[in-house]
């Protein structure tokens, strides 16, 4: 069995607890205009981006840094939307679990619930994005079904507690009052373990160029904007921090 990846990044410190190896799976169910990994949006191999790897091979790569996972780390599946390939990945997830490797995913949850159910069996740490929660805006900007998102959130919180929400902060979307209110409502309802908010960056610019795409310019989010938003989140009694990447 093979899965399609773009990169396997060892010594990842930003994608979950401890020192981790992050596997970037190719293909996504939505399309964020600020996407930091544009090479992972399409499932098709695009020139230098993407290759298929046997699960055995992938396992070997993941286990290379096993000694460093003692820091509380492990493997993180990111993307793209990693859940999209979780059916194919399941045998490996099972083996990793047997070897006590901590498994984390970074997901936007815009996927059929059946895929999330696979993850629920094996994944230890969930990092879930909150992007746009307004129904029509989510459809228009992300091409995502927000009802499906809410349904998956509900399902997830029924079974798991150690969930981190991650929020990309934009003036155009996140910080719009109607959206912000929905975010804060969601946080208050589910009380996640932690929230990380972060500014957009332009590190992927060269990848956009290679893909012959344009990275849209967003309005500058200031230090004060971030601090104010952080305060509002903390006001609903959620543990939150600004994530520097």
Partner 1 sequence: MNKIIELINKIINKSEKLSNFTVIVYKYNRKYRNMTKTILFALKGIFKFYMPSTKLSKGMQIRKIFQKLKIKRNSDRFIYYLDPLKILNIKNFEIENTTIDYEIGLEKSLEEMQKENENMKDGEYKENQKQLLLGIEELIEKEKKIAPNEQVANNLENIKNKKADGFQEALQRILFYNQIVWQTGHHLNGLGRLDKILDKYYKKDIKENKITKEEARSLINEFMKLLHENFWFKSNALLGDTGQVIILGGKEPNGEYFCNDLTYMFIEETEKLQLPDPKVLLRVAKNMPRELMETSVKCIKTGIGCPLFSNDEVVIPQLINFGYDEKDAYSYVTAACWEPLITGKSFDQNNMKTIVFLKPFTEMLNKENLEEIKNQEQLMEKYKTYLEKYIDEFFAELDARKFETDPVMSLFIPHCNQVEIDVTEGGAIYNNYGATSVSLANTVNSIININKFVFQDKKYTLSELNELRKNNFENNENIQLKDQGIRYGKDDDKVLEITNMITKWVDEMLENKTNRIGGKLKFGLSAPSYIDESKDFEASLDGRKKGDAFIVHISSDITSNPYTELIQFASKIDYSGNRFNGNVIDFMVTPSFMENNFEKFTDFLILSIDVGFFQMQMNVVSSETLIKAKEHPEEFPNLIVRVWGFSAYFNDLPEEYKNVLIERALKNEGKSY
In the complex, the residues that contact partner 1 under the rule CB under 8 A are 9-11, 13, 18-19, 64-65, 67-68, 70-72, 244
Shortest separation between residue 215's beta carbon and partner 1, angstroms: 17
Q: Which of 20, 23, 19 is nearest to 5 (CA)?
A: 23
Shortest separation between residue 73's beta carbon and partner 1, angstroms: 8
Nearer to partner 1 by Cβ, of 9 and 135: the residue is 9
Nearer to partner 1 by Cβ, of 63 and 186: the residue is 63
Task: Give, in order, the Cα–Cα distances in Å from 36 to each of 4, 26, 122, 175, 236.
Answer: 18, 13, 26, 19, 29
Nearer to partner 1 by Cβ, of 11 and 191: the residue is 11
Shortest separation between residue 162's beta carbon and partner 1, angstroms: 18
DSSP state of 138: I
Nearer to partner 1 by Cβ, of 69 and 229: the residue is 69
Shortest separation between residue 198's beta carbon and partner 1, angstroms: 12
Ramachandran angles phi, psi of 153, nearest 5°: -60, -45
Nearer to partner 1 by Cβ, of 21 and 29: the residue is 21
Nearer to partner 1 by Cβ, of 9 and 46: the residue is 9
DSSP state of 70: G
Shortest separation between residue 89's beta carbon and partner 1, angstroms: 22
Shortest separation between residue 243's beta carbon and partner 1, angstroms: 9
In what helix (H) or strand (E) does residue 242 lie, and over which residues does it extend?
strand 240-242
**Phi-psi domain of 135 (left: phi exceeds 0; alpha: psi -120 through 50; beta: other):** alpha
**Phi-psi domain of 57 (left: phi exceeds 0; alpha: psi -120 through 50; beta: other):** alpha
How far apart are alpha carbons 11 and 189 in whole angstroms?
34
What is the distance, to the nearest Å, from the Cα of residue 12 to the centroid of all Cα atoms in its chain? Answer: 14
Neighbouring residues of 177: CB distance < 8 A, sequence distance ≥ 6 = none
């Amino acid at each position: 069995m093979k899965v399609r990846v773009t990169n396997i990044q060892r010594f990842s410190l930003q994608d979950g607890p401890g020192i981790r190896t992050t596997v970037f799976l190719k293909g996504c169910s939505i399309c964020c205009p600020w996407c930091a990994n544009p090479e992972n949006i399409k499932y098709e191999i695009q020139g230098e981006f993407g290759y298929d790897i046997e699960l055995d091979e992938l396992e070997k790569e993941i286990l290379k840094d096993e000694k460093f996972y003692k820091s509380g780390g492990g493997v993180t599946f990111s993307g793209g939307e990693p859940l999209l390939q979780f059916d194919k990945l399941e045998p490996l997830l099972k083996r990793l679990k047997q070897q006590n490797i901590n498994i984390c995913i970074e997901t936007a949850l815009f996927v059929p619930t059946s895929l999330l159910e696979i993850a629920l069996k094996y994944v230890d740490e969930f990092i879930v994005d909150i992007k746009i929660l307004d129904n029509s805006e989510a459809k228009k900007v992300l091409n995502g079904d927000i009802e499906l998102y809410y349904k998956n959130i509900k399902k997830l919180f029924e079974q798991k507690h150690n969930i981190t929400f991650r929020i990309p902060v934009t003036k155009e979307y996140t910080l719009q009052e109607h959206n912000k209110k929905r975010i804060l409502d969601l946080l208050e309802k589910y009380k996640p373990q932690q929230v990380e908010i972060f500014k957009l960056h332009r590190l992927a610019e060269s990848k956009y160029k290679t893909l012959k795409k344009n990275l849209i310019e967003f309005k500058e989010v200031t230090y004060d904007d971030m601090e104010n938003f952080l305060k509002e989140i903390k006001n609903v009694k959620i543990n939150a921090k600004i994530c520097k990447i």
